[in-house]
Every structure is written in C-alpha cells, then in structure tokens.
Amino acid sequence: MNTKVLKSLIGMVCFAMMAAASAMASDTVKIAYIDPLSGPFAAVGDSGYRHFQYNAELINAKGGVLGGKKLEIVAFDNKISAKESLIQLKNAIDQGIQIIIQGNGSSVAGALISAIEKHNNRNPDKPVVYLNFAAIDPAFTNEKCSFWHFRFDASVDMKIAAITDYIKETPKIKKVYLINQDYVFGHSVSSSAKAMLAEKCPKVEIVGDTFTPLGKVKDFSPYIAKIKASGADTIITGNWGADMSLLVKAGKDAGLNVRYLTLYGNGLGAPRAIAEAGIDKLVTVVEWHINLSVEENKPEDEKFFLDYQKKYSNDGEMPYYYGRARTTMEMLADAINKAGTDNPRAIAFALEGMEHDTPYGKVQMRSQDHQLIQPLYLAVYAKADGGSVKYDSENTGIGFKTIKRIEGEATAMPTTCQMERPEK
C-alpha cells in the first residue's frame, strides 16, 4: 500500500472520529415545532413558534437542561395539512430530532399520533415523544390515547364541562343554541354539550343545533335570524378564526342580545375583529389570559408576558396568548432533568404523573391518559380600564376579565384510555 493512500485513509478515519465526537458532545436538545407557518393560519402558527422560542430562551438563560445543554426550537411548516405534517415529521426525525411540539388542528394531531406510534414500534431505540399544546379532540386521551402523546391544553369535554357548570349556576340561562363547524371538532363540541346539559341542567332547553361548513360562511345573518327566531338567550360555540368573528359581528348587526359561551372567542385575531361587540357577552374557557396576572397578583408572570410582548409581539399586535406554552416547556425541561437524559422514552416516563407549580397553582400530567390537569378560567371581554382590566389585547382597548375560576380537580373528566406502555 503506498503512503498516499494510507495517509488519506488515516485522514478519513480521524475526520469520522471527530464528527462522531462532535455529535456525541452536542450541547443542544433539539425540539421540532410543526405548525402552519404559511397560508391562512400562518399568523397563529407563527405566534406559537415565538411563544416556544421565548420560553426556550428563558430556560437556556437559566442554564438550560442537564447541567448546561441548551434547548433549540426548530420550526417546520405543515400548512395545517395532515399529509404535510407527516412529511415534516419524517424531516425532523431525519435531522435527529426526537421531541415534537404541535398544536393547531385535531386532524393533524390524529395523524401525528398514529405515525409516531408506528415509528416508535419500528425504531424502539430511537423513539419520538409528542407534546400537543392545542389539539383538543377528546379521543386523543380516550380511545386513541398513546404513551408518546402528552396534551397540555384542556380537552373539548373539559371545556364544555366548565361551560355547562356555568350554565347550571346561572339561572337566567334558559334556552341554549348550539352552532358549530361541520367537522370532527365541531361535532364533539355539540355532542358533549348536549350530553352534559341533559345531565346537569335538564330544565335548560336546547333550541337549536346547527353546523356550518368550516370557513365557508361569509355572512352569518341568516343563522342569526334563525337563532333569533328560536328565542335563545345563550349560544355555545366551538367556532374559531373567521367563523367566530363573523358570527359575533353579524349578531351585533342584528341587535341579537345573547351570551356567547365559546372555546376560542379570545383566539389570536378575534379581539381585533370582534372588539366592542364582545364586551360582557363573549365568554371563553382559557387557562391564561392577559389580565390574569393582575387579577391574581402575580407580578412575576406579569413581567414574564410583558417581556415577551416587548420582544416578539410586534408592538402588542400579536400578544402573549398560549399560557400553556410556558407550562409545556418548563415541564419538558424538568422531565429531561429528572430523567437525566434527553432520551424520549425516559422523558415520557418522567412526564407521566409529573406535578408542576405554575404561577396559578399546581398542575399535573395525569398518568392514565397523559392529559394535563390545570385550573381553568371563564373570561369575558371587558374594556381595559387601568384597574383590574389593566391590559388590552391586540391594541384594541379591550381586554379580558375572569368571571370564574375552576380548580384543576374539578375539570378532570373520567377516561377510557387503556394505555400500552413500553418497557422502561
């Protein structure tokens, strides 16, 4: 063998060893954020990305995880399509990322859960863990539950339970109208509401149960006319995006005087489109809102979200919204530290049953079904007055105020989940 070949061989071996060493000593833990970053839902997806980015920065500033490793959020655009999400999941896995965060769209979440389950069965040595911060189809923590999936938002039935409890305590409410989007999520809102109303307050009459095609309705006036004709005093709706804003706008136009009990009435973009029409009427079930820190006197959390607004909100246009992003990231960091490794299997076992202190009380990741149990709030649109309604949302002069706090235990719902766990 001549020396030239030998030299280059030695060179190659050295290079390979160096590459391997640098990979092993990698000082970051990468997290894939898969959500819409283009198309009609880009505003929401982009804002979510900044939320997680901000929380990762805070954790890194405090020394990261595992004694010095940094968290790094890598964004993948799924255009809110289930098919595209699976491609991006593959991309993320190919880049060696084993922690996935996703939120928007239960159709996307459903596809991710089964794809990840399949991947982990085939690659037990390189599993992936999935943190879901917004897809709230109850199935994911019941019949479709998976060991690798953790949900940090309250599910549809938990939110509807909060709404129906409120109806029970408000004797003024006598006739309820259900209007929802015609797809799996809207149907689960409608069926949960019907079942729980029948059980909790049989005297309340359901005077309508309407489904509208997702994102196709331009003028809700015909529906408003129908609601008016039904004599309803309260509307329950899971509508989000334009379907939510247009409904309230058309209601205001026709002088419809009802309470709106919603799941997404405060969603990003809604305060701008709805504004005054929502004051004292539009109630949303949330785990955090912009005036919560003032109401519960938590200056630390106030500073936390104000710092975010300074840096990422485009002068308040896209305010801090996902309170649960903080819980998600802090619990992830705790789980990595508790497990002593960034191996997803160990992280998942560490997350199971984990308790965590948020500014607003203890939360727990329930081990039976991986649903986070956290305090929920009913918040209503209110004019920002500098008092307890100190901050406004999206520079509209309108903020939110709490009308009821529901403790974590009271939000917990029974589960049918039969979880299959891998070996530890």
For residue 337, give both structure tokens: 């530290």
Q: How far apart are CA 336 and CA 330, in angstroms?
A: 10
Q: How far apart are CA 68 and CA 84, in angstroms?
A: 34
Does the footprint of another protein cover residue 213 (CB under 8 A)? yes
Contact between 204 and 176 under an 8 Å Cβ cutoff? The reply is yes
Our CB check for another protein shows the closer of 291 and 393 to be: 393
Min dist CB 255 to another protein, Å, is 3
Min dist CB 175 to another protein, Å, is 15
HSE-up (13 A, CA, CB side) for residue 29: 28
Our CB check for another protein shows the closer of 68 and 255 to be: 255
Does the footprint of another protein cover residue 185 (CB under 8 A)? no
**With left for phi above 0 and alpha for psi between -120 and 50, is residue 236 left, alpha or beta?**
beta
Min dist CB 246 to another protein, Å, is 7
Q: How many helices (H) and strands (E) does the chain have?
A: 14, 15
Answer for which of 273, 348, 351, 382 binds another protein (CB under 8 A) is 273
Does the footprint of another protein cover residue 221 (CB under 8 A)? yes
Min dist CB 267 to another protein, Å, is 11
* Contacts with 140 (C-beta within 8 Å, 6 or more apart), sequence order: 106, 109, 110, 113, 132, 146, 149, 151, 155
Min dist CB 226 to another protein, Å, is 6
Min dist CB 42 to another protein, Å, is 6
Answer for which of 20, 198, 229, 279 binds another protein (CB under 8 A) is 229
Does the footprint of another protein cover residue 199 (CB under 8 A)? no
HSE-up (13 A, CA, CB side) for residue 392: 16
Binding-residue pattern over the window 276 to 315 for another protein, x denoting contact by CB under 8 A: x-------------------------------------x-
Considering only residues 382 through 401, tell me which ones interact with another protein, judged by CB under 8 A.
394-396
Contact between 57 and 325 under an 8 Å Cβ cutoff? The reply is no
Min dist CB 206 to another protein, Å, is 14
Answer for which of 116, 217, 372, 417 binds another protein (CB under 8 A) is 217
Each residue of 49-80: b (16+ CB within 10 Å) or e? bbbbbbbbbbbbeeebbbeebbbebbbbbbbb
Our CB check for another protein shows the closer of 134 and 350 to be: 134
Q: How far apart are CA 274 and CA 249, in angstroms?
A: 6
Min dist CB 266 to another protein, Å, is 14
Binding-residue pattern over the window 233 to 272 for another protein, x denoting contact by CB under 8 A: ---------x--xx--x---xxx------------xx--x
Q: How far apart are CA 178 and CA 292, in angstroms?
A: 28
Q: How far apart are CA 387 and CA 384, in angstroms?
A: 8
Our CB check for another protein shows the closer of 128 and 248 to be: 248
Does the footprint of another protein cover residue 370 (CB under 8 A)? no
Count CB-CB contacts under 10 A for residue 163: 24
Our CB check for another protein shows the closer of 55 and 181 to be: 181
Q: What are phi and psi of 401, to 5 degrees?
A: -135, 150
Q: How far apart are CA 108 and CA 84, in angstroms?
A: 9
**Secondary structure letter of residue 404 according to DSSP:** E
Binding-residue pattern over the window 13 to 42 for another protein, x denoting contact by CB under 8 A: ---------------------------x-x
**Secondary structure letter of residue 279 according to DSSP:** B
Min dist CB 346 to another protein, Å, is 39
Does the footprint of another protein cover residue 222 (CB under 8 A)? yes
Number of residues interacting with another protein: please give it, by CB under 8 A.
40
**Secondary structure letter of residue 371 according to DSSP:** B
Q: Which stretch binds another protein (CB under 8 A): 188-196, 206-214, 302-310, 383-391?
A: 206-214
Does the footprint of another protein cover residue 211 (CB under 8 A)? yes
| Interface contacts to another protein, rule CB under 8 A | 40, 42-43, 46, 182, 210-213, 215-219, 221-223, 225-226, 228-229, 242, 245-246, 249, 253-255, 268-269, 272-273, 275-276, 314, 317-318, 394-396
